[in-house]
Amino acid sequence: MTGSRLDLDSDEMGRDLVCLVLTVVELLRQLMERQAIRRVEQGDLNETQVDEIGTTLMMLDQRMTELCEQHGLRPEDLNLDLGPLGTLLPRS
């Protein structure tokens, strides 16, 4: 019996892993953004907290953009197709 050999491209595997990690981070970022919006709309935060959250979310968004560019990914590359369920990330 001859063994089959799996030819793996380590560069492609690395890019896929980066894509997966950034997808999870983007999902969490969007969830945090939605939670912050809910809290602002409910009036749970003072003006200083609203400003801090807004700044933090803008910085996270900017950093995600930088990471995508650094690894040759587009934002739409992070939105996994889940077949009949649709896509993983809601449209922003």
**Torsion sign, CA atoms 74, 80, 83, 89:** negative
Residues 32-51 pLDDT 10s: 999 999 999 999 899 999 99
For residues 78 and 89, give the distance between their C-alpha atoms in angstroms, rounded to a whole number: 8
Confidence of residue 7 (pLDDT cuts 50, 70, 90): low
pLDDT value of residue 89: 77
Whether the predicted model's global pTM rises above the 0.85 cut: no
For residues 85 and 79, give the distance between their C-alpha atoms in angstroms, rounded to a whole number: 13
Domain ranges of the chain: 11-72
Quote the mean pLDDT of the chain: 85
DSSP class per residue in 64-90 = HHHHHHHTT--GGGGS-B-GGG-BSSP
